[in-house]
Structure 1
């Protein structure tokens, strides 16, 4: 597919679901907007949407992104495909009889864009999670050719998940802007666990950041924004 707009920006993905992608993407959108950047946020498909009082599906993640970016675009532009089942978008769309393809999601990400805009796309679930009838989050990222910002839960076992995701990105020729370890509340977390130190040694060329749940995401987003539009 040929487009007049060759976007610059980030594709926010993860090793798993529930890692804090929307929180960080929203904070980053707000930081870029505050610095005067024209941010086009996209959550091209969102599943698990609740119905509002009028019976319409409300994409909560996309709404947070839209507000953070200054409501420059309509919610329909930010999240054109909305699904009610809290499943992978590919599965939810199949159950709801909706045709969801990579072509459609790619077009949804690029519509309205102009040179100089910053395209911030949030995926759904993990990097290798099913996204459409014909592909994964990884396939959409490959089409857009945006650098990846990878979130991972800072817990036991995450090192292998991060390394696999980095290898998958490298196989597709995708740049990685950074890996963010998000320390979510976990009463069973081993006291001596230090994923950041181990990953830094294993991936010395990959920027690595650590945050504690939502605390620290705003400062990280501000630092990333300054680096991205310097």
Structure 2
């Protein structure tokens, strides 16, 4: 099996890293060489040896069974926990999607499966010209959408699905991840999304529950 998946979300803080890491673990358990990639990470901490490192990247590396250089797994690292394009501007950098593409292509030679986690939502800017959506188009790999199950998730999910489809990308499936422990009518919201999203629901993750997935 040689494949990759791009993980995007309906918003920031909807559990993209948790789901991406769980997907990497899922493929590792299935016997594949799998690695997680987070091209852009904001909110990095400075290590004692002067390296910027993000907790999301650590989670992806811990889930992977492929050893790869940090510059391939996480080409762009920023200390401010803000939108990527603003963090890049503040540090005098420019996010180059071509560099990300090259890092991904290298990773793809090292693993059977590469799970690429986006930043924020699908239309988050990366620079003056490009967004996460543009990066997804460049990579041209199947997308898995993480729906943060909370009030407003139906609109956010359906708009994101439209944006993915409008770019001719393949939505392999979506994951319902409950991020609000007191979300009202969770089951009813889930049914509504299942009725309106043509792609399969690959998993339903309750509040603080372990993720599991079903691929056809």
Task: Give every structure 1 segment of 4 or more consecutive aligned residues whose post-TM-superposition deviation is greater than 6 Å.
Answer: none
Q: How does 1:47-196 map to 2 (within 5 A)?
A: 47-114=42-109, 117-187=112-182, 189-191=183-185, 194-196=188-190
**Aligned-residue CA RMSD (Å):** 2.0
- Per-residue CA shift, 1:108-162, capped at 9, x if unaligned? 2222433972121000100111123431111111111111111111112111111
- Counterparts in 2 of 1:31 and 1:201: CA distance versus 1, 3 Å: closer
Aligned counterparts of 2:137 and 2:192: Cα–Cα separation in 1: 28
The question of whether the paired residues in 2 share the 8 Å contact of 1:99 and 1:133 is answered with no
* Residue-pair matches, total: 214
TM-score, normalised on structure 1? 0.85
What TM-score do you get using the length of structure 2 for normalisation? 0.90
Partner of 1:29: 24
Structure 2 gaps, min length 5: none
SS of residue matched to 2:120:
coil
Match of 1:202 in 2: 196
Match in the other structure for 2:7: 12
Q: Secondary structure at the match of 1:61?
A: helix
- Is the alpha carbon distance of 1:192 and 1:179 closer, same or farther for their aligned partners in structure 2, counting shifts above 3 Å? closer
5+ unaligned residues in a row in structure 1: which ranges?
1-6
Equivalent residue, structure 2, for 1:3 = none
